Structures are given as structure tokens and as C-alpha cells.
Amino acid sequence: MPMLTRRALMQGSTALAATGALAGSGLHEWASAWAQSAPWKPEAGAQLSLLRWKFFVQSEDDSFVSLVDAFSKATGVKVNIIRESFEDIPPKASVAANTGSGPDLFWGLYSLPFLFPQKCVDVSDVADYLGKKYGGWVPTAVTYGKSGDKWIDIPVCFGGNMLNYRISALKKAGMSKFPATTDEFLEFAKATKRNGTPGGMALGHATGDGNTWVHWCLWAFGGNLVDANDKVIINSAETEKALNYAKQLYENFIPGTASWNDAFNNKAFLAGEISWTNNGISIYAAAKRDPTKKDIAEDMDHALWPVGPVGKPTEFHVCFPMLAMTHTKYPQACKALMAYLLEADQYNKWLEASVGYLTHPLNAYDANPIWRADPKNTIFGEAAKRTLTAGGLGSVGEKAAAALADFIVLDMFANVCTGREDAKGAIKIAERQAQRLYR
């Protein structure tokens, strides 16, 4: 983690304090003033189309729409917001990159920009501006943002993917705190199934929830798709151990998780069908918002991922990078919007409106009160600093992005858990797929 200088902290604190002052003048007035002094001046007649992921927290989306509306009023740049599910963003972005047409901006997941780095606008000036103003970028944001010596996207935020659980089910399993090791976690899963309060995690093509838990499991046992030189090393004893462990977990899941996407576990948890799963904070946010789910909100909490035989955390949280396509007619307007979104005067409000679903990539936002307002929120504020990145030991370049988009690791786990393949057979399939990508 980069060290914060006193100057950086003061700059961040001054910017954070400005949020309170903004209450009297209003967002639109602040946005107008910002537009006048910002380094990026949108092109005459600029209109932007932005494709983003479908929201999981209504207040986050409401805040985002308000911020964009203020930007449009201040700059005259109309922004059309399009929403797609997680799994639909990579193919739509790839089509746009290949055809040179489509949305100006994509706000996707993980290393999406590395699928077509040459089709991304160089936004190094935006990254430098924000980094200097807000205490520097967390290291994982730099990894996800830079290709070579230039920034090809702005990692607007991360999404913490933690363990969500019912406190009553934990106690019924005879535990006073959530399992800290993979061995304890397996015993917890067995106990909750035995007690009629099973859990479940997605094994369908769930870009967020599915990818995060299987990579955590692979890395927890020392397995990796590639090494530091991007050489495929998935065929290993460590990978086999991870797969066999996951199969034991799966045997204690609720039926049907092999077809779950990123929305299924939210619904199952809120319906009382499962007592634990991996997810962002959106389940808790929905339960607090719905008077009929108050009992769930009061009876649930969040935990960090258990540590496996490697002896250290191997968490995998979601990065949400925003990129501008080189086919856009309005690159300056794109840069202006990217910079604007991460300015403290509205980014702080947006973080709070997301109730912890979004986690900041810039160090100054450690001070946002959302991380202390509710102890059940706190660990989500650590996601950007705790997470490993999409390539594991390797790079987060185009090949790692393709491996995620093709669900190589996720399908390997699903094949074993569902009995379609034994561990060795599933590994060989994944190895062949990875070698085609990394050749």
C-alpha cells in the first residue's frame, strides 16, 4: 500500500470536508462550478451513451442518476444510461470494440478493458489528476487501470464480496463466530445443512458471485491458473485439493446452485431458503429497506473469507472499471465525466447512498462515514485493499480477462461439484482452454 503524505491527507480531508459545505449550495451549483474549472472541456454538442451493470441497491442507482443529471446540466452533455446484467457486459463491449460502434463508455467488471486495450481511450491524465488529489490509488486499482505505462480505464469502485450469514444459523451450528479457516467453514456448511438451514453459492455463469468464490477456493489451496510469467499451471495437486474441497462444500448447498446467476442467491437469502452465501452488501441493504424483512436484517452479518492451507487471505472482490471507447466522438466529454464521478463532493454521497455496496479505490475515501455508521458495513470498506486481482499470480491483461469472460475456472469447479467430471478430468479441460488463451 502506498504511504500517504501529510499533503495528500490534507488534500483529501479538505475535499471530504467540502461535502458538508455542499449541503447549503446544492449539487447542481457545485457541478456548475466544477465544470468551469475542470481541465477537460466537452466537445461542442457532445452526447454520451454509458452502459453500466444493473444495480443491486436502488439508492446507489438513484444517486448515480442524480450525479449524472447534475453533470449534464452543468456541462450540457446529455448522458444516456443503459443497464445490463453482469454477464451481458463483456460480450456487448467486445462487439462494440470489434465494430467500432456502440456506447461511448462501458462500466464493467474486473479486467474488461484488457479484452481490447487498444480500443480504450488513454485516460492517464484523469488518473493522475484524481490520484494526486485524493491520497493516491490503492495498488489493485493501479493494476486494473494501467496497461503498460498508460491508464486504459478508471477503476471507479470495487464491490466487496463477503460471506453473508444468519447469526441464528451460526449459533445453531454451535459456533460463536464465523469460521476463520476452510476446515471450520466446511464443518459449518455440514452443520447448517444438518440443521435445516443450508447455504449456497452460485455455480452458474455468475460473473460476480460465481467467479469470486471459486477463485478464493482455488487460491486458498495454492492452486493457480497461471504463474507470474503467465505460464499455465492449473494442472496441479493444489488445484485438485481445491476442487475436492469445493465438492464437499457443494454437497451441503441448497439444490439448484449450478444454474444460479448473480441474482439468485440474493432472492434465496431474502426468502429464507438459505442461511449463508457470498455476496455484496445488497442483501443486507434490501432487508433493511423492506419492513417485512426486518427480522433478516437484524439476524444477519458479514464475514471475511476463511483462510485455507496457504495460510493467508485469498479474497477476490469485484473491480468496476469504466472505460471510454476510441470510437467515441467525444473523448474530452468522457474524461470529464470520469473525473467528475470521483470528485469528493459527490463521490462521498454516492458511497453513502450505496450503503457499502461500492468500495472506494482512492485512499482519501477511507474517511467516508459509511464504513463506521454500521459495524455490519465495515469490512466492505477493505475490499479494494484486500483483494487479489483477476490474473492471480499472473497479469490482468487480455488473456486473464478472456479467462474470466470464458468462465474457465468457474466451469472447472462446476464440472466437479455437479459430478460431470472428476477433478483430474475437469482440470484437463480447463488446462486445454487456458493453454489456447495463453499460447
Average pLDDT over residues 177-197: 98
Residue 106 backbone dihedrals phi, psi, to 5 degrees: -125, 135
pLDDT in tens, 296-346: 999 999 999 999 999 999 999 999 999 999 999 999 999 999 999 999 999
Predicted TM-score (pTM) of the model is: 0.90
- Cα–Cα dist 122/108, whole Å: 17
Q: How far is CA 171 from CA 141, 199, 307, 334, in A?
A: 37, 15, 21, 50
pLDDT band at 393 (very low <50, low <70, confident <90, very high): very high
25: pLDDT strictly greater than 70: no
* CA–CA gap between residue 112 and residue 115 (Å, rounded): 6
Taking residues 188-208, report their average pLDDT: 97
- In this prediction, residue 87 carries a pLDDT of 86
Strand order in the sheet with 276-279: 276-279, 162-166, 300-303
Strand partners, 47: 78
Sign of CA dihedral 137, 143, 144, 145: positive
The model's pLDDT over 63-104, given as tens digits with 9 standing for 90+, comes to 999 999 999 999 999 999 999 999 899 999 999 999 999 999
For 6-159+317-386, give the CATH class.
alpha beta
Is the pLDDT assigned to residue 7 strictly greater than 90? no
Sign of the Cα torsion 98, 102, 108, 114 reads positive
Q: Of the given ranges (25-39, 229-243, 346-360), which has the lowest mean pLDDT?
A: 25-39
Give residue 97's region: left, alpha or beta (phi > 0; psi -120 to 50): alpha
Given a cut of 70, is residue 235 above it in pLDDT? yes
Q: In this predicted structure, what is the pLDDT of residue 135?
A: 97
Model pLDDT, residue 19: 37
What's the CATH number for 162-316+406-438?
3.40.190.10
Mean pLDDT of the chain: 93
Which pLDDT score is estimated for 54?
A: 93
The DSSP-derived string for 85-128 is -GGGHHHHHHHHHHHT-S-SEEE-STTGGGGSGGGB---HHHHH
Residue 262 has pLDDT above 60, yes or no: yes
CA distance 220 to 211: 14
Q: CB-based contacts of 103: which residues, under 8 Å, 6+ apart?
A: 49, 50, 51, 82, 96, 325
Beta bridge partners of 48: 79
Confidence category of residue 26, pLDDT binned at 50, 70, 90: confident
Write the pLDDT tens digit of every residue in 137-176: 999 999 999 999 999 999 999 999 999 999 999 999 999 9
pLDDT of residue 260: 97
Question: Residue 130: is its pLDDT beyond 80?
Answer: yes
| CATH 3.40.190.10 residue window(s) in the chain | 6-159+317-386, 162-316+406-438
24 pLDDT tier (thresholds 50, 70, 90): very low
**Average pLDDT of span 236-250:** 98
